[in-house]
Amino acid sequence: MVHSDSTAANPISAAPGVVARLIDEVYQLCRTDTSGELADYIPELAAVQPDSFGICLATADGQVYGSGDVHTPFTIQSISKPFTYALALADRGPAAVAQRIDVEPTGEPFNEISLDPRTQRPRNPMINAGAITAASLVEGRDPADRFARIQRSYGRFAGRELKLNEAVYASEARTGFRNRAIGYLLRGVGIVDGDPDEAVDRYFRQCSLDVTCRDLALMAATLANNGVHPLTHERALVAPLVEQVLSVMTTCGMYDAAGDWVTTVGLPAKSGVGGGILAVLPGQLGIAVYSPRLDEHGSSVRGVMACRELSHRLGLHFLHVTRGAHTAIRASYSVAEAPSRLRRDPEELELLRAHGDRVRIVELAGDLLFAGAESTVRAVEQLPGDLEALVLDLREVGDVSDIAARMLADVQAELAAAGCRVALVDPDAKLGHMSSSLDPADPVGRVFVDRDSATEWCEQLVLDRHRPPGYTVPAALRVEEHPAMAELPDDECVRLAREFEIRTIARGELVIARDSPRAGLFLILDGRVRITFEDNAGRRHRLITLSPGMSFGEISLLTGVHFSNDIYAETTVRLAVLSPEKFDRLTSQAPEVKLALLERLATAAYSQTDAAVRALAAHGGA
CA-to-CA distance for 524 and 548, rounded, in angstroms? Answer: 5
When mean pLDDT is compared over 21-35, 320-334, 480-494, 536-550, the highest value belongs to: 21-35
Yes or no: say if 367 and 478 are a contact pair by the CB < 8 Å rule.
no
The answer on 484 and 462 residing in a single domain is no
Asked if 196 and 338 sit in the same domain, the reply is no
pLDDT of the residue at 7:
41
DSSP sequence for 158-199:
HTSPPPB-HHHHHHHHHH-HHHHHHHHHHHHTTSS-S-HHHH
Encode pLDDT of 457-511 as tens digits: 998 899 988 988 877 666 789 999 888 887 788 888 888 899 999 999 999 999 9
pLDDT at 16 (0 to 100): 60
Between these two residues, 354 and 385, which has the higher pLDDT value?
354
According to the model, what pLDDT value does residue 347 have?
A: 81
How many domains is the chain partitioned into structurally? 3
Q: Are 375 and 407 within 8 A, CB to CB?
A: no
Environment class of 562 (CB within 10 Å of its CB; exposed 0-12, middle 13-18, buried 19+):
middle
Judged by DSSP in three states, 93 sits in coil
Kindly state whether residue 472 falls inside one of the protein's structural domains.
no
Residue 325 contacts residue 404 (beta carbons within 8 Å): no
Domain match, 258 and 165 both = yes
What is the chain's length?
622
* Partners of 360 in beta bridges: 334, 390
- Residue 532, φ and ψ in degrees, nearest 5: -125, 165
Over 90: is that where the pLDDT of 619 sits?
Answer: no
Bigger pLDDT: 30 or 17?
A: 30
Same domain, 303 and 349: no
Q: What is the pLDDT of residue 13?
A: 34
Q: Residue 589 sits in which domain range?
A: 479-619
**b vs e for 182-212, b when ≥16 Cβ sit within 10 Å of the residue's Cβ?**
bbebbbeeebbeeebebbbbbbbbbbbbbbb
Q: Are residues 412 and 496 in the same domain?
A: no
Q: Is the pLDDT of residue 441 over 60?
A: no
Q: What distance in Å separates the CA atoms of residue 511 and residue 503, rounded to the nearest whole number?
A: 10
Is residue 142 domain-shared with residue 180, that is, in the same domain? yes
Q: Indicate whether 444 and 510 sit together in one domain.
A: no
Task: Tell me which of 466, 496, 518 is where a domain ends.
Answer: 466
Do 204 and 157 belong together in one domain? yes
Residues 60 and 11 in one domain: yes
The answer to whether the beta carbons of residues 288 and 29 sit under 8 Å apart is no
302: number of Cβ within 10 Å: 31
Strands 389-400 and 421-425: what pairing? parallel
Bridge partners (DSSP) listed for residue 279: 269, 287
Boundary of a domain, candidates 466, 499, 516? 466
223: helix, strand or coil: helix
Backbone dihedral angles phi then psi of residue 342, each to the nearest 5 degrees: -85, 120
Model pLDDT, residue 321: 54
> What pLDDT shows up at residue 15?
45
| pLDDT (average), residues 286-290 | 97
Kind of pairing, strands 529-534 and 501-505?
unpaired
pLDDT exceeds cutoff 60 at 11? no
Q: What is the mean pLDDT of residues 16-31?
A: 91
What's the confidence (pLDDT) of residue 400?
Answer: 87
Torsion angle of the four alpha carbons 397, 402, 405, 411, in this order, in degrees rounded to the nearest 10: -140
Supply the DSSP symbol for 342.
B
Report the number of secondary-structure helices (H) and strands (E) in the chain.
20, 22
Cβ atoms 310, 285 nearer than 8 A = no
Euclidean distance between CA atoms 183 and 197, whole angstroms:
7
CA-to-CA distance for 11 and 53, rounded, in angstroms?
A: 17
| Cα torsion angle, 485, 486, 489, 490, sign | positive
Q: What is the pLDDT of residues 396-405, one digit of tens each?
A: 888 888 888 8
State the average pLDDT over residues 371-398: 87
CA dist., res. 443 & res. 387, Å (int) = 15
Contact predicate 379/332, CB 8 Å? yes
- Say if residue 81 is exposed, middle or buried (CB neighbours under 10 Å; 0-12, 13-18, 19+): buried
Residue type, 280: V
Per-residue confidence (pLDDT) for residue 366, from 0 to 100 = 83
Four-CA torsion 410, 412, 418, 423, nearest 10 degrees: -170
Average pLDDT taken over every residue of the chain:
87
* CATH code, domain carrying 562: 2.60.120.10
Q: Do 445 and 511 belong to one domain?
A: no
**How far apart, in whole angstroms, are the C-alpha atoms of residue 105 and residue 259?**
9
How far is 348 from 100, CA to CA, in rounded Å? 75
In which band, very low, low, confident or very high, does the pLDDT at 233 lie, cut at 50, 70 and 90? very high
Q: How far lies 517's CA from each of 296, 530, 560, in Å? A: 86, 19, 7
Mean pLDDT over 192-207 rounds to 95
Q: Is residue 487 domain-shared with residue 453, that is, in the same domain? A: no
- Using one digit for the tens of pLDDT, what is the confidence trace for 546-568? 888 888 998 888 888 999 999 99
Which CATH number does the domain housing residue 294 bear?
3.40.710.10
Domain stop point among 466, 497, 526: 466
Cα 367 to Cα 325: distance, rounded to the nearest angstrom: 6
**Other beta carbons less than 10 A from residue 57's beta carbon:** 31
325 band by pLDDT with thresholds 50, 70 and 90: very low
CATH code at position 351: 3.30.750.24
pLDDT of residue 573: 95
| Predicted local confidence at residue 607, as pLDDT | 59
For 54-85, what is each residue's pLDDT tens digit? 999 999 999 999 999 999 999 999 999 999 99
The span from the CA of 564 to the CA of 544, in Å, is 13
Three-class secondary structure of residue 540 per DSSP: strand
Grade residue 369 by pLDDT with cuts at 50, 70 and 90.
confident
* Residues 483 and 454 occupy one common structural domain: no
Q: What confidence score (pLDDT) does residue 322 get?
A: 45
Active site residues: 78, 81, 203, 255, 273
The β-bridge relationship of strands 64-68 and 54-59 is antiparallel
